[in-house]
């Protein structure tokens, strides 16, 4: 089995989230300055706080998508998508897929009594837009899943 955890991230998603966040902040600050002191003076503290909250929320969402990752460890697979993190023991992981029309990868989970057809969990850390690099990461992730699944003998 692997001796250390493997981590998969989408560099283009991180770059896009960072650039879009910087542009949004720069535009917001520029607009605030362009309004001039007379108009800015009409805003109350709570109104300014609300504007800052929504700006921070938008930046947080963009960055959380950019910071999404999949971690392969000895005891299971961890998928962090935006603000949600889910851990799956190897006994629950069936595989991973990235179809031609899929925007990102999906972790396939084993069927259960509650979900006899199985379930999938999106993995934003591997994006179809990355082309061959995404295919290489899918192949590596499939290899690691096969290595860690119960019943595997090395």
Say if residue 154's pLDDT is above 80.
no
Does one domain contain both 83 and 50? no
pLDDT band at 126 (very low <50, low <70, confident <90, very high): very high
Summarize the confidence of residues 64-77 as an average pLDDT.
93
User: Is 1 contained in some domain?
Assistant: no
The pLDDT of residue 152 is 53
Does one domain contain both 14 and 57? yes
The dihedral of CA 114, 117, 122, 126: what is its sign? positive
**Spatial separation of the C-alpha atoms in residues 32 and 44, rounded to whole Å:** 14
Does one domain contain both 100 and 61? no
User: Is 114 contained in some domain?
Assistant: yes
Q: Could you tell me the residue range of the domain that residue 88 belongs to?
A: 68-148
Does one domain contain both 98 and 128? yes
User: Is 47 contained in some domain?
Assistant: yes
- Among 43, 65, 87, the domain boundary falls at 65
Contact 92, 120 (CB under 8 A): no
Say if residue 3's pLDDT is above 60.
no
Radius of gyration of the chain (CA): 21
The pLDDT of residue 2 is 44
The pLDDT of residue 46 is 97
Q: How many domains does the chain have?
A: 2
The pLDDT of residue 70 is 96
Does one domain contain both 55 and 109? no
- Among 65, 90, 108, the domain boundary falls at 65
Does one domain contain both 86 and 100? yes
Summarize the confidence of residues 82-111 as an average pLDDT.
93
Place of tokens 């960072």: 18
Does one domain contain both 144 and 97? yes
Q: What is the 3-state secondary structure (H, E, C) of the chain?
A: CCCCCEEEECHHHHHHHHHHHHHHHHHHHHHHHHCHHHHHCCCCHHHHHHHHHHHHHHHHHHHHHHCCEEEEECCEEEEEECCEEEEEEHHHEEEEECCCCCCEEEEEECCCCCCCCCEEEEEEEEEHHHCHHHHHHHHHHHHHHHHHCCCCCC
Does one domain contain both 99 and 40? no
Does one domain contain both 21 and 73? no
User: Is 97 contained in some domain?
Assistant: yes
Does one domain contain both 60 and 85? no
Model-wide pTM > 0.75: yes
pLDDT band at 133 (very low <50, low <70, confident <90, very high): very high
User: Is 122 contained in some domain?
Assistant: yes
Pairing of strands 76-81, 84-89: antiparallel
């Amino acid at each position: 089995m692997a001796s250390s955890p493997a981590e998969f991230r989408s560099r283009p998603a991180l770059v896009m989230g960072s650039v879009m966040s910087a542009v949004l902040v720069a535009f917001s600050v520029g607009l605030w300055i362009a309004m001039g002191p007379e108009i800015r003076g009409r805003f109350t503290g709570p109104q300014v706080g609300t504007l800052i909250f929504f700006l921070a929320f938008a930046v947080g969402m963009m960055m959380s998508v950019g910071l999404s990752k999949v971690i392969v460890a000895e005891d299971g697979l961890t998928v962090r998508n935006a603000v949600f993190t889910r851990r799956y023991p190897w006994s629950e992981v069936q595989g991973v897929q990235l179809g031609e029309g899929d925007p990102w990868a999906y972790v396939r989970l084993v069927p259960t009594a509650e979900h006899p057809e199985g379930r999938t969990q999106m993995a934003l850390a591997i994006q179809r837009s990355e082309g061959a690099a995404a295919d290489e990461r899918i192949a590596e992730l499939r290899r690691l899943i096969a290595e860690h699944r119960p019943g595997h003998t090395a």
